[in-house]
Amino acid sequence: MARNATRTRARILGAAYRLFFQEGFSRVSVDAIAQAAEVTKRTLYNHFDSKDTLVAAVLDHQRAYALAQIQSWRPIAAATPAEFLVALFEALERWASRPRWLGSGFTRLTMELADLPGHPARAAAHRHKAEVEAWLAEELARLSAPNPTELARQAMLLSEGCMALMLIHGSTAYAAAAAAAARKLADGSDS
């Protein structure tokens, strides 16, 4: 019985993730999620007491995957903080070049819920972005950046701005601009 419940929960999370990512939180109904997961609405509510709880669970479920994806962008041969950051922005550009790229689901959802600061999905997005920033700081420290925590924060600002502008303008050229800015920041931190 527990195995079936686990599979059902996973189906609901998968269906909700796809719909939230493609259509946005506000435009997706609980009925649509139940239908996509091939469960009844009652079954969905047996697993998640509200749509808000479900979206937070979706983001928490995706956090490890998203962080692993970003970590896979780590360049093997980077010897300096600048090389590391430039390689990350090059990987971001490749990701954004995929057809129908929609950017970071964590960021998009947080913007959609901007008027609800206590929403559980915003807390899940906060945890994810903090994990990414901490990982960046660890990698930059490993590469002997003088102020890895501050450089990681600056890289996060560049990354989030880059993704927003790529979505707004439909141009991946912003990734190259962000890479150039990251290189200057990293090179400046080395002096």
pLDDT of res. 77:
74
pLDDT of res. 14:
92
pLDDT of res. 190:
44
Under a CB-based contact definition with an 8 Å cutoff, are residues 175 and 93 in contact? yes
pLDDT of res. 182:
96
Mean pLDDT for the chain? 91
- 112-159 pLDDT per residue, tens: 888 888 888 888 889 999 999 999 999 999 999 999 999 999 999 999
pLDDT of res. 178:
97
pLDDT of res. 114:
86
pLDDT of res. 74:
83
CA separation, residue 164 to residues 65, 108, 131 (Å): 21, 9, 20
* Encoded tokens for 57: 């669970």
User: What confidence tier does 57 reach under pLDDT thresholds 50, 70, 90?
Assistant: very high
Contacts of 136 (CB under 8 A, 6+ apart): 148, 151, 152, 155, 156
Residue whose pair of structure tokens reads 């899940």 in the numeric block: 124
Higher pLDDT, 65 or 96: 96
Query: What mean pLDDT is predicted for residues 71-96?
Result: 90
Is pLDDT above 80 for 189? no
Domains in the chain, CATH or no CATH each: 1-49 (1.10.10.60), 55-189 (1.10.357.10)
Cα 12 from Cα 34, distance rounded (Å): 7
* Encoded tokens for 162: 């880059």
Query: What mean pLDDT is predicted for residues 40-57?
Result: 94
Percent of the chain with pLDDT over 90: 63
Cα 170 from Cα 9, distance rounded (Å): 35
